[in-house]
Amino acid sequence: MQLTLARTVHFRGFGLHSGLPVRMQVAPAPVDHGIVFVRTDLPEGRNRIPATIAHWVAARLCTRLENIDGASVATVEHLMAALAGCGIHNACIRLDGPEVPILDGSAAPFLRSLIAAGLREQRAPVHVIRIVRPIEVRDGDAVARLEPADGVLMSFEIDFPDAAIGHQRKTLDLANGTVLRELGDSRTFCRRADVEAMQAAGLALGGSYDNAVVVEGAEVLSPGGLRHIDEPVRHKMLDALGDLAVAGAPIVGHYTGIRAGHALTGRLLRAVLDDPSCFIRQPCTAELWRRLPGGLRSADALALTA
């Protein structure tokens, strides 16, 4: 069955790239509503932005959605990953600015609040997008690929010159609870050498050591160091999960990213949905439900995100 929240949850913070303050609430929504953003600072009737691939636009260093009236919302990937990780299919997200708050740079604050609010089953079936033929996109040495699998699997590989990151590779089955246990608390990261360039380009204006892992060579500059020895690759997997969530339905398949970013994963998703020969839509069986992200309940889930 489809899931929504049992009650509304509230967040307040700053946009990572805009630096602007933002207030946001994630509210329950009816069956087949999907995930929809509503910009409360924009005129009614032109401020609704569904989180679907039709509204995805290429952007630097984040995932951005935009409607036909030009209303947009950026840096949605961590929240989208949290919703997917909890198995939430329907939600209305109201915010008074152009960017989702970055909070601590991970999905953990979203996950904790969503799970504490509780989930409500709805009387409608879940449909999934099952990959039946491999498909990939490339950009130089960066690759994003989806291929058939019996569940939701993800592999990611990164390679940075800074010894604090270096070469990292990880594969996970994202069945119930994995997102919370393995990926949720991993923060966005950057190299110190890139910070000034990003800010000169009008990006990362809200970035700080409190909401990002900053490295320089072999040194982690953020207080407290890394939460996991391979936190960067875990965060890239979290980003990819959030990017894939704009498909509008869970994707059953094996995603592989090699040096992939938001833009390449978005291109892959668009290529998949533009090619009906590589996927089928089907109802989610009880057996398949157990292979999807999400579905954890109350105390067990809260213990994982404490």
- How many folded domains does the chain comprise? 2
Pair 89, 115 in one domain: yes
Give the range of the structural domain holding residue 57, as residue numbers without chain letter.
Answer: 3-121
Q: Which domain-ending residue is among 88, 121, 154?
A: 121
Pair 277, 154 in one domain: yes
Average pLDDT over residues 78-91: 96
Stretch among 29-33, 54-58, 277-281 having the lowest mean pLDDT: 54-58
Q: What integer pLDDT is reported at residue 204 of this predicted model?
A: 63
First to last CA, the chain: 27
Pair 105, 202 in one domain: no
Pair 105, 138 in one domain: no
Pair 136, 281 in one domain: yes
Q: Is the pLDDT of residue 267 over 60?
A: yes
Tens-place pLDDT, residues 207-264: 677 888 989 888 898 888 999 999 999 999 999 999 999 999 999 999 999 999 999 9
Pair 10, 109 in one domain: yes
Domain with residue 167: its CATH number is: 3.30.1700.10
Tens-place pLDDT, residues 159-187: 999 999 999 999 999 998 899 999 999 99
Structure tokens at 162: 């800074």
Q: Which domain-ending residue is among 92, 121, 150?
A: 121
Q: What integer pLDDT is reported at residue 303 of this predicted model?
A: 43
Pair 298, 204 in one domain: yes
Average pLDDT over residues 21-34: 97
Predicted model pTM: 0.92
Pair 115, 152 in one domain: no
Give the active site residues: 262
Tens-place pLDDT, residues 189-202: 988 877 777 767 77
Pair 99, 131 in one domain: no
Domain with residue 101: its CATH number is: 3.30.230.20
Q: Which domain-ending residue is among 63, 95, 121?
A: 121
Pair 75, 92 in one domain: yes
Pair 114, 136 in one domain: no
